[in-house]
């Protein structure tokens, strides 16, 4: 079911890690951002999108991890955009992303995974502003819809995911803090944050999400164990240990 979180911005959440697919009304039609996750989710999303009426004119992928690289033929053969670095990385990791998708969920059209084009400099049909940064993974972007007070955040500002540093890039603690500063600088225009996973944040919760991610990184920097309710989820202990290790190395 699509939930309209702001004027012309709808969210559908999947059960798998509470992934959020986002549908945005643009000038020429609808933009589908990070559709997921399994085949039944994708076809239900396609039903919901059809009911909205306007055609899908483009897709957008916030970053080249498999759960943000999916598509379904019912959304149409339209350009699927990402940052230039994101599109490049998606083509490099495509086979691995297909294998991870096949191992994690059923009914995903594997042949459509990760076929992305760099978004034009003016964003093309993607409304708002694409905010590219170096946190979490190469080519990650948020989309700011300032006129609607919405930030589509990708895998940041989540209430279920801790900040996940990219083991493939050096200096990730700094990069993550810089990215949070950039998102923080636009947060005054934002009433609604749609994270890639977890609950949509509204009102005061927007700043609380920024504060929670900053507090987690501050603790890593000091070499302390973060006090963070998200860490109650057992499956995050591996990624957390990897973050701790990266922070330790960058502090040496
Ligand atoms: Zn994700």
**164 Cα to the center of ligand 1, angstroms:** 10
**71 Cα to the center of ligand 1, angstroms:** 15
Classify each residue of 81-109 as buried b or exposed e, where b means 16 or more C-beta atoms within 10 Å of its C-beta: bbbebbbbbbeebbeebbebbeeebeebe
Supply the pLDDT for residue 189: 87
**230 Cα to the center of ligand 1, angstroms:** 15
Task: Give the CA dihedral 42, 15, 199, 58, nearest 10 degrees.
Answer: -10
In whole angstroms, give the CA distance from residue 247 to residue 252: 9
Supply the pLDDT for residue 188: 85
Say which residues have a Cβ less than 8 Å from residue 211's Cβ, sequence separation at least 6. none
**152 Cα to the center of ligand 1, angstroms:** 13
Q: 3-state SS of the chain?
A: CCEEEECCEEEEECCHHHEEEEEEECCCCEEEECCCCCHHHHHHHHHHHHHHCCCEEEEECCCCCHHHCCCCHHHCCCCEEECHHHHHHHHHHHHHHHHHHHHHCCCCCHHHCCCCEECCCCCCCCCCEEEEECCCCCCEEEEEEHHHCEEEEECCCCCCCCCCCCCCCCCHHHHHHHHHHHHHHHHHHCCEEEECECCCEECHHHHHHHHHHHHHHHHHHHCCCCCCHHHHCHHHHHHHHHHHHHHHHHHC
Supply the pLDDT for residue 146: 95
Length of the chain measured in residues? 252
In whole angstroms, give the CA distance from residue 109 to residue 101: 9
Give me the residues near ligand 1 (ion), CB cutoff below 5 Å.
67, 155, 196
pLDDT in tens, 39-60: 999 999 999 999 999 999 999 9
193, β-bridge pairs: 151, 201
Categorize the per-residue pLDDT at 222 as very low, low, confident or very high, splitting at 50, 70 and 90.
very high
**163 Cα to the center of ligand 1, angstroms:** 11
pLDDT in tens, 117-159: 999 999 999 999 999 999 999 999 999 999 999 999 999 999 9
pLDDT of 84 > 80? The answer is yes
The overall average pLDDT reported for the chain is: 96
**34 Cα to the center of ligand 1, angstroms:** 9
Categorize the per-residue pLDDT at 81 as very low, low, confident or very high, splitting at 50, 70 and 90.
very high
**136 Cα to the center of ligand 1, angstroms:** 10
pLDDT of 251 > 80? The answer is no
Pull the structure tokens for residue 185. 């600088």
What's the whole-number mean pLDDT along residues 106-125? Answer: 96
**147 Cα to the center of ligand 1, angstroms:** 26
Q: How far is CA 15 from CA 36, 46, 156, 199, in A?
A: 10, 17, 18, 12
pLDDT in tens, 162-200: 999 999 988 999 999 999 999 999 998 899 999 999 999
Whole-model pTM? Answer: 0.96
pLDDT of 252 > 80? The answer is no
**222 Cα to the center of ligand 1, angstroms:** 27
């Amino acid at each position: 079911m699509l939930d309209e979180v702001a004027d012309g911005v709808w969210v559908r959440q999947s059960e798998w890690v509470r992934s959020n697919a986002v549908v945005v009304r643009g000038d020429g039609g609808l933009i589908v951002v990070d559709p997921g996750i399994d085949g039944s989710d994708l076809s239900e999303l396609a039903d919901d999108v059809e009911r909205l009426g306007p055609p899908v004119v483009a897709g957008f992928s916030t970053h080249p991890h498999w759960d943000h690289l999916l598509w379904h033929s019912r959304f149409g053969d339209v350009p699927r955009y990402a940052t230039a670095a994101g599109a490049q990385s998606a083509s490099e990791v495509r086979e691995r992303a297909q294998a991870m998708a096949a191992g994690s969920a059923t009914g995903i059209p594997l042949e459509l995974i990760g076929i992305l084009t760099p978004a034009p400099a003016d964003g093309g049909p993607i409304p708002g502003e694409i905010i590219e940064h170096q946190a979490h993974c190469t080519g990650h972007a948020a989309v700011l819809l300032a006129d609607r007070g919405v930030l589509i955040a990708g895998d940041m500002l989540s209430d279920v995911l801790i900040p996940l540093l990219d083991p493939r890039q050096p200096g990730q603690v700094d990069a993550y803090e810089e990215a949070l500063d950039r998102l923080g600088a636009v947060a005054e225009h934002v009433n609604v944050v749609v994270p890639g996973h977890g609950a949509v944040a509204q009102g005061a919760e927007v700043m609380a999400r920024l504060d929670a991610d900053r507090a987690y990184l501050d603790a890593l920097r000091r070499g302390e164990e973060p006090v963070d309710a998200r860490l109650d989820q057992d499956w995050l202990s591996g990624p957390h240990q990897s973050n701790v290790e990266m922070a330790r190395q960058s502090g040496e």
